[in-house]
Chain A
């Protein structure tokens, strides 16, 4: 089967760092994506990893280990506006990208 697991909810403090983990089991692999989705809005693209290692983009970084079927999204200097759901998604080499259920992040003052 194909499966993507990520925590349901996380809470962190403004200004802190938070790491959202994602593990996956898919029939193939052609890239892992992270999306941000605010309540009532559509997802927006954050990052893409296809090779092992860390990709950094401003306050957000994403890491991939293909051998472990593992990724994380790292958010630094958290802001209140970062409160959202974060979706981990994997392209299995075909037409489909499989989405995880999302991690709801609550940032508190």
Chain B
């Protein structure tokens, strides 16, 4: 149980294009989802917290117009990297918090998306 599916796992795109990443909680409802970014050998960097049905809360220094987050349902959140540039190349990881009876507020992570912008 507690599976989070993230797609795509790997994407290469041209500079200036937009990329959408999907994150789904498969066997639980996630009222809160999180988007992280991670550079090689560095720690997780929280980009934004996404609550179902409301606007995402972005961390300081993260451009909300560049990283569009939508959390339209209790099982799906999407991150769109708009007008991607080479410096946006990174490993993006979503996680979903199981706030249900089983949950203990544990965050379960998707497998991550490796984005390379040429």
A68 to B68 CA separation, bound complex (whole angstroms): 40
Determine whether A96 belongs to the interface, using a CB cutoff of 8 Å to chain B: yes
| Interface members, chain A 47-98 (any B CB < 8 Å) | 48, 50, 87, 89, 91, 95-97
Q: A87 contacts which of B44, B46, B105, B111 (Cβ < 8 Å)?
A: B44
Main secondary structure, interface of A, reads loop
Q: List 22 A-B contacts (CB under 8 A).
A: A30-B105, A31-B105, A33-B107, A35-B109, A40-B114, A42-B6, A43-B44, A43-B109, A45-B2, A45-B106, A45-B109, A48-B104, A91-B105, A95-B32, A95-B49, A95-B51, A97-B107, A99-B43, A99-B44, A100-B43, A101-B42, A102-B43
Q: How far is the CB of A87 from chain B (nearest CB, A)?
A: 7
- What is the total of A-B residue contacts with beta carbons within 8 Å? 48
Which size class do A's interface residues fall under?
20 to 34
Binding site for A on B (CB under 8 A): 2, 6, 32, 42-44, 46, 49, 51, 91, 93, 97, 104-112, 114
* B43, A42: Cβ atoms closer than 8 Å: no
Residues of chain B within 8 A of A35, CB atoms compared: 109
Binding site for B on A (CB under 8 A): 30-31, 33, 35, 40-45, 48, 50, 87, 89, 91, 95-97, 99-102
| Known contacts A42-B112, A95-B32, A96-B49; A101/B104 CB under 8 A | no
| Known contacts A95-B49, A99-B44, A102-B43; A42/B110 CB under 8 A | yes
